[in-house]
Amino acid sequence: MVAKDEHAIALQGLYNQLKPVIDFSEQAIYLYLDDVHKICNANFASLLGYESPEEWANIETSFPDTFADEGSQNVLVSTYQDAMQKSIGSTVDIAWKNKSGDVVNTSVILVPISYQGKVFALHFISAKE
């Protein structure tokens, strides 16, 4: 990822700091600031049917509309808002839409994390059988 702006520079810096966790975890992980500034590991990209983390990260449409199933969008947004505004970590069930439109049921641990004065949401995702 090439740093183009202040948010991108912070995202890249935080990713570099967390790289051993993000890249080597057996769990799907993504780091989110906004619809443009996000990064995931290969496990999350694969979970949603994308060829690579870069393919997933390059989608710059509304995150909840694009990736969360309609029934999970409000939960995902409110959990994210709690993390950003109140520094609250949460565990929630989220149904994702994969690239082909199928639903993937998961459990998500969402925690706020600060880097260079910006607060990001760090997500750990486990598929549910």
Cα–Cα distance for residue pair 117/95, rounded to 1 Å:
31
Helix (H, G, I), strand (E, B) or coil at 61: coil
The encoded tokens of residue 65 equal 């509309």
* pLDDT of 1 over the 90 cut: no
Write the pLDDT tens digit of every residue in 6-42: 999 999 999 999 999 999 999 999 999 999 999 999 9
| Domain contains 36 | yes
Contact by Cβ (8 Å): 72, 108: no
Non-local CB neighbours of 18 within 8 Å, separated by 6+ positions: 31, 122
pTM for this model (two decimals): 0.92
Non-local CB neighbours of 99 within 8 Å, separated by 6+ positions: 48, 49, 50
pLDDT at 3: 43
Write the pLDDT tens digit of every residue in 50-88: 999 999 999 999 999 999 999 999 999 999 999 999 999
Write the pLDDT tens digit of every residue in 104-126: 999 999 999 999 999 999 999 99
Domain around 36: 6-127
| Domain contains 29 | yes
pLDDT at 4: 60
pLDDT at 129: 75
Q: How many domains does the chain have?
A: 1
pLDDT class of 2 with cuts at 50, 70, 90 = very low
Q: What is the CATH number of the domain that holds 72?
A: 3.30.450.20
C-beta neighbour count of 8 within 10 angstroms: 15
| Domain contains 1 | no
